[in-house]
Every structure is written in C-alpha cells, then in structure tokens.
Amino acid sequence: MTKLYRIFTNAELTARVQTSSTCHIFKSEGKQTKMPSNKSVSDAPITRFINGTILREHTLQREDLWVRDGSILNPEKLFYDEQGFADELVNCEGTIIAPGFIDTQINGGFGVDFSQLSENVPENVSLVAKKILEHGVTSFCPTLVSSPPVVYHQVLPQIKVQEGGPDGAGVLGVHLEGPFISAQKKGAHPEHCLRTFSSRPTEDLMEVYGDLGNVAIVTLAPEMDNSQSAVKELCRRGVTVSLGHSAANLSQAEEAVRGGASFITHLFNAMLPFHHRDPGIVGLLTTDQVPPPRTVYYGMIADGIHTNPAALRIAHRAHPSGLVLVTDAITAMGLPPGQHMLGQQIIEIKGLHAYVAGTTTLCGSIATMDMCVRHFWQATGCKAEEALEAASLHPAQLLGIARKGRLDYGADADLIVLDDKLNVKSTYISGEEVWRKPEQR
C-alpha cells in the first residue's frame, strides 16, 4: 500500500515545534536564545535550518533544511513515520544555503605545495584543508603537477581519501596533472619531467606513478602515441581522465572521449586555440560525437586573469551543464607577493598574477574558490544558481559522487551559508559547523 504524505508549510512546521513542552538551543547569527521543541524520537539530534533560501533542483527556493547523522532529511517522512521534530534550530536570517564547493584542481596554498617532497605531507594537506573551509570548500582534489617518479612514489601513498570535518575539507582523491602531456603546451610544467607513452602504456603509468589507489583524476594529452590505451586503462581503474596541456585536434579529443575521457583541464589554457576548421579540444563543448548519455565536463579558472570574461561567456553559453569552476591555486594562495615554489619551478607573484620566475608564463592562480564563483557570476551574468552549481553539483557529477554537490534528501549535509553577494558566512560538513566568519566590531 502506498503511503501518502502531506506537505507542511513552514508556518505549520514552526507551529508544531512551538507547541511542544521541551526547550532546545535556537542558533542565530551572533546570538543564542531558547526555542521550544519536542525531543526527537531518534537518538541522533536533528538540526533544522530555517529562514533561508535553499539551492535545490537548480533553483533557489524558500524552504527549511533538515539534517541528521550528517545527511539531509525528508521532513515529511520524519513527521509521518517517526513523529519527530528538530532538536536544534539554526536561523539563517534570509541568507542562501548552498552545497559546499568542490575544488578538483588545487596545487596547494598557504605556503604548501602538494608536488614537493616532504616528510609532512599529511600535515600539509591538512593545513590547506583547514584553510579552505573559510572559502566554502568542503571537498577537494590535491593536485600534483608534472614531477619526477620519486615524487609520486613518495607523496601519493601519503594523501589518503578521507571525509571532511572540523579539521578540514574532505579529500576526494589526487589529481595528477601530467607528466604525460605535450611539451608544446607544457605551460609552467618543467620539460625535463615530461613523459611519453611506450607500447606498454599501463606499465608506463605504474612506473611513473607507482600506485593509483588514491588517484581521482589524471590529466594527459590525447594526441600522444598510445595515449588512447592509457585512457581506457585509467577509466577501467575508476580514474577520471582529463584532457589538457595538449595540442590535440578535435578528432583526437573525440577518440579519447569515446575511450572514456570525461573532463577538460582548464579550458582555453595550455591547448590549441579555437579555429573554425578544427576547434581542437575546445570543440568538445559542442561535438555530436560524445556517446549518450555521457557529458564532457570542463574546468574553468575564473580568476579574472586566466580567462577573459568574453571567453567565460562563450563557454558557459555553449555548454552550461558541463562547466566546473576550479581554482588551480598554487602555494602562494594566501601569501604575500614574492618568489615561491611550484613543483620543480620557482614562481613569482606580482599582484594577482603568478608567473614562472623570469617569464610571462602564467603558472596557476592565487584566487580562492569563493572569489572564482563571484567573478564567474558577475562576468557571465548567469544566475546565482548556475554559479554555485558550477562549483558544487558539476564537480560532484564529474567524479560520479551522487551524495555530494546537492541538497537532495539523503545527500551529505556539506553546505555553506552565503549572503546575497555570494560571500561565505559559514561552512558546514556533515551538518556540523566547521567555520564561521568572525563578527566585525
């Protein structure tokens, strides 16, 4: 027999809470007061976020959000099946509640370079994981640029996939950007570290990386000999293959997609420019050769430096559902101007620009994810929902993680609270507050 549910309005739900006899803490911005509620029938406490606008199903809608055991609850089933109510109320005071940001390409930050040999790799990852909470990032992929095999062999085993919490954002796996990339489009990658595939690409992968157990994404150039076999092998192992730092033409890129590749690393940067006779990798945004229902996603560095606003608008309007905002942040994110290390290269920060020292070659960004979201929103004129989903829903879809990047029932309660200018006010992981913007005095 099918059970029917009646949808309660917010007013009805509040009335039901207020008629109960017990009292629980009512959290609000900068203050706490008592608010009556009944005891939940579950042993785990239930938190209800009220007076907020929730991003759900691609729309900002006025609705409450219910959380228990780190997951988002369906309130109808809670009331009818359990006769349960909230143990704690969080007053969002008219702000936006959105899924936490996911950064799939971040090389480091705050003095940490993930591509550097160190005895303190876990501590360095934890430092960045903690710092990026204030920028709304609840999950990320630590990224290593092209490096000698010894770096991969020593660093990769130390970066574990793990859930986030009060100590920092969760790690979804490592992004290996190189070294199987084009010397012609190497960008800031040191040429002496670049590799090509032999007739045994699987052995090449294992020889260079050592272990793929903690790897989420590998960026490679699809035009290289035997790269298509490498694409298929990586996909077979559950690794997302991204195309980048490449001089590939469109047909080579399409062949890689048919083999399982599903991502483009920082679109427009370190690839052949768009040409009307052969649009190269950029042409994947509108190709009709992608096997349905597969989607090709593409990363965009919306820092106001790497990509002109007109290029952002072109990409977004051509393929909005595939756009993934990335920071491509380097060790100097959060540090003052001057020289720093990025993998095997010395880099120099001048203003908001990061260059390979002594050159004009850009080598990553010092922008944070919340900055990229705001710039993308303003530069493209898109809806706030689209800008927020480009940093949450789309990267989760890219990685095939259905429980993150959305506020649907049953999803992880990784969320952020933002004002109407998309400034982050607080960050939650598994429904627990892990960062709050200090009050100004």
Q: Is 230 annotated as a binding residue?
A: no
Two tokens at 78? 């809670």
The sign one gets for the Cα dihedral 276, 280, 281, 283 is positive
Q: Is 194 annotated as a binding residue?
A: no
Quick one: angle between helices 227-236 and 201-209, nearest 10? Answer: 70
Q: Is 382 annotated as a binding residue?
A: no
Assess contact for 146 and 177: CB atoms under 8 A. Answer: yes
Q: Is 163 annotated as a binding residue?
A: no
What is the 3 state secondary structure string of 165-180? ECCECEECCEEEECCC
* Choice among 113, 328, 412, 414 that is catalytic: 328
Q: Is 43 a catalytic residue?
A: no
Q: Is 266 annotated as a binding residue?
A: yes
Q: Is 175 annotated as a binding residue?
A: no
- Which phi and psi angles does 330 have, rounded to 5°? -115, 180
Interacting residues of 149 by C-beta distance below 8 A, sequence separation 6+:
207, 208, 209, 210
Q: Is 375 annotated as a binding residue?
A: no
* Positions at the binding site: 177, 188, 245, 266, 269-270, 277, 306, 362-364
* Positions at the binding site for substrate: 188, 269-270, 277, 306, 362-364
* Positions at the binding site for Zn(2+): 177, 245, 266
- List the catalytic residues: 328
